[in-house]
Amino acid sequence: MAKIEHVSPLAPEKFPELPVIGGVRFAALEAGVRYSGRTDLMLAELCEGTAVAGVFTRSSTRSAAVLDCQEKITEDLEGKAAILVNSGNSNAFTGQSGFDSVAKITAAVAEEMGIEQNRVFTASTGVIGEPLKWERITAKIGELSASLEEGAMEQAARAIMTTDTFPKGATQTATLDGVEVKIAGFAKGSGMIAPDMATMLCYIFTDTAISREVLQQCLWLDNASTFNCVTVDGDTSTSDTVLVAATGKADMAPITDFADPRVRVFRDALHAVMKDLAIQIARDGEGASKLIEVQVTGANANGPAHRVAMAIANSPLVKTAVAGEDPNWGRVVMAVGKAGERAERDRLTIWFGDILVAENGWVAPSYTEEAGAAYMKNSEITIRVDLGLDNGTATVWSCDLTHGYISINADYRS
């Protein structure tokens, strides 16, 4: 894996100050899963009664850990729970040994922490197709358990990084019936990023009292307009996992019905955390120098709008034009046309930021190449497209495509 020597120029100034979430403790350390000299293993302990919801990649070659989590996530168990994540090796496409590794790891965590094995959720991220050296992980479970503490979320965020250049964290609060609840989480993702139910690894924690069924509905819906709207390179990972854990430690009456009016308030805060983390992933795209936001309006429906937006965001020609600060709007036209959705030349309107670029089937009379070139020098670029057909809308986030992406991935395993 290429050594990351520079932090993304789009990175936030610092990791946010994340609150302590009642009922959650974290630990992180070096296990030498693949590399030495880096923290690569994290553990989160969740108190009794924690509700856990999840969404996962729909890749046909998803990892053993993903398949294991998918089986467990639908169970309503009341005991303590745990999440263990390693970086360096994805334990994907590793045959029966992959499932055996997950079983060994979850059994070791369960025994050490007094947790039912069906309440131990794992994830692995890194190189595909190499057997996971699970013994290096299980050898550290005791040390991890002994070092658990409430305020170690940043250390946990750093432990799951692969080619990420910075750890990604976000937090929000919400007031439910006069009670302030907290939501905080972290994610990893930099390359092999394309949405398909979930994208990258993400773990979000809240002290909200909410049932697993309602929490799952909230996550499913909010995922559609956050993590499923970010793309770096169009490649869907075998390991994509998003878990949300609600400990119920807040002093409030539990939310057990999705029709409860408090759900909307909770979802707004959860959505804000998820959107923040999704955009941070785009900011940390491998080799990225510019953040790209694509807004599509006027489509037949939201689904077609999303597919057009993703066609633009995933286009190598659009992404390299942005990298080269070239206002080549013809590439946007191309991407709209290849999306396979209804579009009519003379109804199409394109903007770079607030600059009207094209309308009525041709370049806008007011547009100048100088204005477009000046706009492209910004570190954050917005491409707006109106199809002029109906009221379908979508917004997605991506990044430019530079030589840095090639450099990172050309020697990823070295």
Of the listed 106, 165, 199, 231, which one is catalytic? 199
- 414 appears as a binding residue in the annotation: yes
- 395 appears as a binding residue in the annotation: no
- 168 appears as a binding residue in the annotation: no
- 409 appears as a binding residue in the annotation: yes
- 286 appears as a binding residue in the annotation: yes
- 393 appears as a binding residue in the annotation: no
50 in catalytic set: no
Q: Are 412 and 34 in contact (CB under 8 A)?
A: no
* Binding-site annotation, residues: 162, 188, 199, 286, 409, 414
Give binding residues for substrate as ranges: 162, 188, 199, 286, 409, 414
Q: Which residues are catalytic?
A: 199
